[in-house]
Structure 1
Amino acid sequence: MKKNIILLYITFCLSNVFSQEEKPNVLIFYVDDLRAEIGSYGSKTAITPNIDELAKDGVQFNKAYVQQAICAPSRMSTLTGLRPENLGIYSIFTPLRKVHKEVVSMPQFFQKNGYKTVSIGKVYHHSVDDKQYWTHHFKKENNSYVKPENIALMKRLKASGKKSLKGPAYEDADVADEAYKDGRASKYAIETLKKLKDDKFLMFVGLSKPHLPFNAPKKYWDLYNKNDFTIPSREKPEGMYRLALSKWGELKGYYGIPKKGDLEDDLTRTLIHGYHASISYIDAQIGKVMKTLNELNLRKNTVVIFMSDHGYKIGEYGAWCKHSNVEIDVRVPLIISRETDYKKRKKNKISNALVENVDIFSTLVDICDLENAPITDGKSIVPVLNNPNKKWDKAAYSVYARGKKIMGVTTTDGNWRYTEWRNSITNAILETELYQHKSSLLSFVNLSGNKKYKKVEQRMKKLLEIQFPRNKPFLQNDIPRKR
């Protein structure tokens, strides 16, 4: 009897050791400003062999959405599993920990569970956020120019007292990958993987491109012929709310970009060219990191996620950048590839399930089998990873604030997008929009109020009010920018 008890105890101890050893590593490529402009998503222009290979090794989500199409709130939402309307932060000026000391974040929780936590490049928008919860923290670097003429220009702008030091919107220096910051980010990632190969880790590799400026080594520009790019229609949707699109001031702040009016065709093509060169540049960095992961024999027990913080416009609707609730700005690429020896793992699958970036935290907790996780607004999408064709959520949700007084709330069912622009204080509806996106990221007619689509609009309105009830005020925790 005593012998059996001892054997049971040994078995219990060994099972605990093995379960700890089997907990996977996590590697997340967190990309800035990338819409679904990737080969695996059907892009006819983007050259992305490494990301495409990752898609073949996992599940690609064709209907993934962010909670707000702007860097800081979107990234906070991913890293806390909480929606912007529940954090109350809608601008890029307020760090998470300035107002939320109590929220348990992903690096905080994983660190508590024995993981080495790594932040490389741009992960949070504000580098100060969660600095104490990263065991390895590589501060994000500022935009860099390497051409002598652009370095000289930046010195002149600084000497002139110009406050917003933004140089040219693009650069194509004939340099090595490490001359620009994403090349250095992949270098840091490779070095850190080698150091942590015997530890459990949660590693974020924050790649800044294709965010402006579109600076990438010349060899990536040379992959494309500028004249092959088509100029998008500058037509704005008929009946669109007057504040639905931003004035794309982010681009207009760069040197050499006209302050008024549409961009002329040649400059438009150059910028589109630069956007694509930047995508191929980060694709190459991802390839380098994945190669190291395989060489270190870590791939077999590492969950790899490729994701973006929001979509982007490169001239569509005559607009640029993000900062809106339109489909092309809130829909993002998302690929999840689990460790190769996971029994239920699916490869080379596509899912049209509606998922959101706010789900990532809960999903990783589930995959890594961690207990006592904080309550979040997202939920694990592991059932969809196991069965990509599984019926899932009926809607995905996003917000976009226009100042302190106007809030845009929007939902999609995967086909239709319904948006209400409300008074942020009273929740009174100011304007509504209804667009169909059956086969395109773009839509050119606001069908809200059209009798033919009355039932569709009523159904979408009910879906919207599940997440944004009219009797619930919007949290406002943003700290005004210092003047």
Structure 2
Amino acid sequence: MNKVIALLFTAFCFLSSRAQDSQPNVLVFYIDDLRAELGCYGSETAITPHIDELAKDGVMFNKAYVQQAICAPSRMSTLTGLRPETLGIYSIFTPLRSVHKEVVSLPQLFNKNGYKTISIGKVYHHGRDDKSVWSTYFEKEKNTYLKPENITLMKRLKEEGVKPLKGPAFENADVPDEGYKDGRAANYAIETLHRVKDDKFVMFVGLSKPHLPYNAPKKYWDLYDKNDFKIPSRQKPEGAYRLALPKWGELKSYSNIPKEGDLNDDLTRDLIHGYHASVSYIDAQVGKVMATLEDLDLRKNTMIIFMSDHGYKIGEYALWCKQSNLEIDTRVPLIISRETAYKNRVTNKTSDALVENVDIYQTLVDICDLKSAPVSDGKSILAVLNNPKTKWDAAAYSVYARGKKIMGVTTTDGQWRYTEWRNSTTHEILGVELYEHKNSLLSYTNLSGQKKYKKVEDRMRQLLEVQFPRNKPFLQNDQPRR
């Protein structure tokens, strides 16, 4: 009898070991302020060979959306699997753990399941959120300037007490990649991969570009001719709700940006040039880390996720940055490439399935067989990864609050975007928008209320009600700025 028990125990340990061995490593490239301005997404200007190659090696999603187009709430949503309206956090000023001690985040869940957890660069917006939870934590660094004239300028502005203390909106110092922080983050990721190559790990590599300032080594600026960039239309959406369009103070706070009025064509091209240079810079960092995976023979058991925290405007509608419910701010690039040893691996495919960043949590739970996972707001998209043509969700949803009293709620079915601006307490409708996006990220006319589009608007309104019923109050956990 003892021999039988011993054999059964040995078999159980063997099967458990095989199950653990089948759990893949996970490498997430989490990019800041990156819209789908990539070669693989059809950009006529962006030079992104490494990301394009990754897209060929996996599934690229054409209809991926964030839950809020601003850094902190969006990243919290990804890392907890909970929507902003579930967390009740809508601003960049409230750290997750200042109001939610109980929420189980991805690093916590992976830790419980025996993974080494690694955070490099900007992962959470607030670095202190879960800082002690990660097995390895590489602190994000502050933006730096390297040109002597900009170093002198920053010193003078600091002495003058200028706040916020920001220098020029772009810089192109003739330095190696590690001169700026994303190059250092990539190097640290490479060093860490060498250290954990024999462990089971999840690694988030948070690359901060193309977030402002657009500081990137000169060689990436030299990839482009500034005069090749077209000036986007400055036309604003006709009939938009009065608070629908964001103020772009984020850009205007930089020292070389006029505080009033639209930017002239020359400065607009400089900024578009800087954005593209920054995108090519992070593309190179992705390439370095991916090459290390191959060199260490880790790619066979490491799945890759390439994603952004929200979309972005570079002059469209005469606006800059994010912070709205517009299609261009809520749609994001998303590429997922399974480990090469995965038997159902799909490559070089695109999917039009409506997916959301909040789905990443449950997807990783399923793929990595994570035990004791809490209920999340998202759903696993494993079925879409196995068959990119799979019929999927009818809609994707986002929010954007304007202060404490006004909440913008929005949905898309992949062709139409419907938005309601509501009183946060009473749900009184303050404004409605309906935009068509069949062929473009941009739309210049609010079609809400037009008889021709009544059936479309009624259908989109019903979709919105699924996620944002009027009898459900908006949770408000935002704290005052500290």
| Same fold flag (TM > 0.5) | yes
Q: Which amino acid aligns with 1:298?
A: L
Partner of 2:441: 441
Partner of 1:412: 412
CA distance in 2, matches of 1:91, 1:35: 20
Counterparts of 1:105-116 in structure 2, within 5 Å, are 105-116=105-116
Partner of 1:299: 299
Counterparts of 1:46-85 in structure 2, within 5 Å, are 46-85=46-85
Q: Which amino acid aligns with 2:463?
A: L
Partner of 2:173: 173
Q: How many residue pairs were aligned?
A: 482
Partner of 2:270: 270
CA distance in 1, matches of 2:356, 2:118: 23
Shift of 1:125: 0.4
Indicate the SS of the match to 1:20. helix
CA distance in 2, matches of 1:81, 1:8: 38
Shift of 1:2: 7.2
Partner of 2:386: 386
CA distance in 2, matches of 1:340, 1:363: 18
Shift of 1:10: 2.6
CA distance in 2, matches of 1:13, 1:256: 64
Shift of 1:8: 4.1
Q: Which runs of 5+ in 2 are unaligned?
A: none
Per-residue Cα deviation, 1:106-150 (whole angstroms, up to 9, x for no partner): 001101111111111100000000012111111111111000000
Counterparts of 1:85-104 in structure 2, within 5 Å, are 85-104=85-104
Q: Give the CA RMSD over aligned residues.
A: 1.0
CA distance in 1, matches of 2:212, 2:288: 23
Q: Which runs of 5+ in 1 are unaligned?
A: none
Per-residue Cα deviation, 1:166-196 (whole angstroms, up to 9, x for no partner): 1000000000000100000001100000000
CA distance in 1, matches of 2:247, 2:7: 70
- Normalised by the length of structure 1, the TM-score is 0.99
Q: In the alignment, is residue 163 of structure 1 matched against residue 168 of structure 2?
A: no
Partner of 1:136: 136
Checking the alignment, whether the CA contact within 8 Å between 2:109 and 2:370 is kept in structure 1 is no
- Normalised by the length of structure 2, the TM-score is 0.99
Indicate the SS of the match to 2:124. coil
Counterparts of 1:312-323 in structure 2, within 5 Å, are 312-323=312-323
Indicate the SS of the match to 1:132. coil
Q: Which amino acid aligns with 1:252?
A: K
Checking the alignment, whether the CA contact within 8 Å between 2:145 and 2:151 is kept in structure 1 is yes
Counterparts of 1:84-483 in structure 2, within 5 Å, are 84-482=84-482
Indicate the SS of the match to 1:131. coil
Shift of 1:242: 1.4
CA distance in 2, matches of 1:103, 1:112: 14
Partner of 1:17: 17
Shift of 1:11: 2.5
CA distance in 1, matches of 2:254, 2:231: 21
- Segments of 4+ moved more than 3 angstroms: 1-9
CA distance in 1, matches of 2:162, 2:370: 50
Q: Which amino acid aligns with 1:436?
A: E
| Same amino acid, percent of matched pairs | 77
CA distance in 1, matches of 2:246, 2:324: 7
Per-residue Cα deviation, 1:388-443 (whole angstroms, up to 9, x for no partner): 00000000000000011110000000000000000011111000000010010000
